[in-house]
Amino acid sequence: MNKNPSLCKALPVVKEVLLENNIPFEIKNNGYHIIIRTGSHRYDFWPTSGKWMIDSDFKVKTGGLNKLLEKIFKSPVKNDDPLDKIFSKDIDDMTTGELKDTITLLCDFINKNIKRG
């Protein structure tokens, strides 16, 4: 079965970001749907459209993987927490290097603070 060309482009990138940062995920529907479970939440992500939703409101959102990761890691932090700098700048204004560093910091945070099944 031939896959959609946009899926062939998007899926490897999404998998790479998630794998490099040890974020657990499941691939469903031949790659058209990715499930990420963190803490008590489930996030559904569709790589070809960049749409996603969280189980707490079931409203489909846009913004791609970056906005999804921003939502996953958005949590109250202490003033002295290194994650404070992540939320002091709009993700749309970040350079590629800053964005990669941010994703790495966020993934480190989730790996240290979120219990896995």
The full set of domain ranges for the chain reads 5-113
What does the pLDDT look like over 56-79, one tens digit per residue? 888 899 888 888 888 887 743 334
Please state the pTM of the whole predicted model.
0.58
Four-residue CA torsion sign, 54, 115, 113, 96: negative
Helices in the chain by DSSP H: which ranges? 5-20, 64-73, 96-113
What is the band of 115 on the pLDDT scale with cuts at 50, 70, 90?
low
Judged on CB neighbours under 10 Å (0-12, 13-18, 19+), 76 is exposed
